[in-house]
Amino acid sequence: MDMHHEEVTNEDSKDLSFIDSMYEAVSAMKGNLPHYLPLFFLSFALKAYGLAYFNAQDDMTVITVAAVNVFGTIIQSVFILNFFFFAFEKLPYRVSKVLWDIPTYMFYGFLTSLLMILGVAFFVIPFFYVAYFYSFVAMTSILFDKEGESNFAITKKKVSTLGGTYLGFLVISFIIAGIAQVVTNYAPGTGIAIELIYIICLLLTLIQDVLTGVLVSLFRKA
């Protein structure tokens, strides 16, 4: 009985492995290039757009660039999350489903952001609690929602199941996101060749897409 339990536990651990999920994500991207490449270039285009206006001074331009990046990132996120979900589930890619998901994703993203702001305003610990357990409620709402069960509860359950694998994913994601912020917001104008910055942005886009696939894969198995 104990040996059987140990075998099941080992199999579960393997299923929730970061490396296995990364292999799954890369395989999905390679196997579905016609659907993936437009999403890759959309993500890169958003970074390039920000770079083109990094030294904008007038308020209207700054607001426009910020709005394009915010809404563009939301749309790109919904499309690529669904891309990986459809690929992993061996389902045909349905744009109508993706478009329907955008308002839901925005709503739950707003709720999560509001909870984080309230956590900072009233006490620091609730912010970290919300950030750890509920950062991906918006993703859950469009990919893993269940009738009669809260998306917040589903997300927390999956995060708890993933344990250390999820923590490792968060650390890697925050590091990559930090590097991306530095490259797009501070590298221009420092003397670094703009061509090199664009190449770095291409690599960062690829890495971030793989991490998105890893996240969908892990949540799908948890």
Q: Model confidence over 195-211: pLDDT tens digits?
A: 899 999 999 999 999 99
pLDDT of residue 58: 83
Lowest average pLDDT, out of 108-117, 141-150, 181-190, goes to 181-190
Query: Percent of the chain scored above 70 by pLDDT?
Result: 92
Q: What is the 3-state secondary structure (H, E, C) of 9-54?
A: HHHHHHHCCHHHHHHHHHHHHHHCHHHHHHHHHHHHHHHHHHHHCC
Retrieve residue 4's tokens. Answer: 């059987």
Q: How many CA atoms lie within 13 A of 213 on its CB side?
A: 28
pLDDT at 13 over 80: no
Nearest to 80 by CA among 64, 88, 168: 88
Retrieve residue 160's tokens. Answer: 């708890």
pLDDT of residue 119: 83
pLDDT-derived band at 44, boundaries 50, 70, 90:
very high
Each domain of the chain, given as residue ranges in start order, spans: 2-94+145-221
CB atoms within 10 A of CB 157: 14
Buried b (16+ CB within 10 A) or exposed e, 108-137: bbebbeebbeebeeeeeeebeebbebbbbb
C-alpha distance across the termini of the chain, in Å: 24
pLDDT of residue 5: 43
Higher pLDDT, 165 or 53: 165
Distances (CA, A) of 21 to 62, 64, 85, 178, 200: 38, 37, 13, 22, 24
Contact status, residue 119 vs residue 130, Cβ threshold 8 Å:
yes
Contact status, residue 24 vs residue 88, Cβ threshold 8 Å:
yes
pLDDT of residue 73: 93
Look over the chain and give the mean of its residue pLDDT values, rounded to a whole number: 89
